[in-house]
Amino acid sequence: MPSLFDPIRLGAIDAPSRILMAPLTRGRATREHVPTPIMAEYYTQRAGAGLIISEATGISREGTGWPFCPGIWTDEQVAAWKPVVAAVHGAGGRIVCQLWHMGRIVHPAFLDGEKPVSASATTAPDQAHTYEGKKPYEEARPLGLDEIPRLLADYDRAARNAIAAGFDGVQIHAANGYLIDQFLRDGTNLRDDRYGGSVENRVRLLAEVARTVADAIGKERVSVRLSPNGEIQGVDDSNPEALFTAAAAALAEVGIAFLELREPGPNGTFGTANRPPVAPAIKRAFGGPLVLNSDYDGPRAQAALDAGEADAIAFGRTFLANPDLPKRLAEGAALNKDNAKTWYSQGPEGYVDYPTLGRADAA
């Protein structure tokens, strides 16, 4: 079986190792969702990953509802991404852009008071982060059938913009309770048209987005993230195995480069209480490279490869705090702990100041 440090072909991308950097929202762009120079330093520090999956990046104003997150729908945003991507490539790295539409998780404060869109008229639990502080989520309106071509055009434009900015490809964010996930799962999809009801209908939007993006930039440069097991941001499904194996089969038909799954369970274990993990069934249905993510350390990641459960592993918070994570894993070195208080702050603290092994030894 391969080791974490063996190369892997992911569509058009030759990754030198199977240690990927998972997407991590960090909040260092401008209020207008334009990337900033410090983002180049942050990503370049982590260019030793087999592949970097960028932080979630808005495809449109309608779909973007996180303070200081980047976007990829305007010329200004594309221009600001170019030096970030060039810096990663200059350091020998590879990076794809994660395309994000938040659906009902967008607060009306980001939309001049207009309602967000979702599969159905539902309301997310808890509170939204806004520029004015936390506010309760408000009810979304159902996305109209006549609006879906416009949504697909937004994904098309975002994917083409990502390639224009120099990214090696894109990842479609279809996980974690955001718009596509809201369409996938029956807890939030209450529609009675061709996008609701049956599993086949609920998978339709994901398949159409994937095909649109694949047609725009080439299927070999497209990946998808799913979160198949358990409730997240109020989104859940009554039969996740049936749903997500159908989703995987649809993505296999499109021919995407790889599929990434975030499947956490209680207390850092896999599989939600009283539910077995869905990843094995998804792997069989998809057939292509499968990347797993959630609370892995080095030994558990290698064990997943040895067992044939995954072809690569994406590390999130661990990569946030350890810019040289592949080196640390190779040497069995101690890992820095991440500082949750600085995850979404706007400065360099907790962003570009985590020490590498050399800096830690010198200190």
The CA-based angle 339-344-349, given to 5 degrees, is: 55
| 3 state DSSP class of 24 | coil
Burial class (CB in 10 A: 0-12, 13-18, 19+), 1: exposed
Place of tokens 């330093």: 41
> Can you read off the two tokens belonging to residue 308?
């044939």
Helices (H), the chain: 37-45, 75-90, 148-164, 179-184, 199-217, 240-254, 279-286, 298-306, 317-321, 325-331, 357-362
Cα separation of the two ends of the chain: 38
Do the Cβ atoms of 29 and 76 come closer than 8 Å? no
> Can you read off the two tokens belonging to residue 252?
């296999």
Residue 178 designated active-site: yes
Distance CA 73, CA 57 (A): 9
Residue of 42, 43, 178, 354 with catalytic role: 178
Query: Which of 95, 90, 69, 222 lies closest to 160 in space, CA to CA?
Result: 222
Distance CA 332, CA 339 (A): 22
Q: Which residues are annotated as catalytic? A: 178
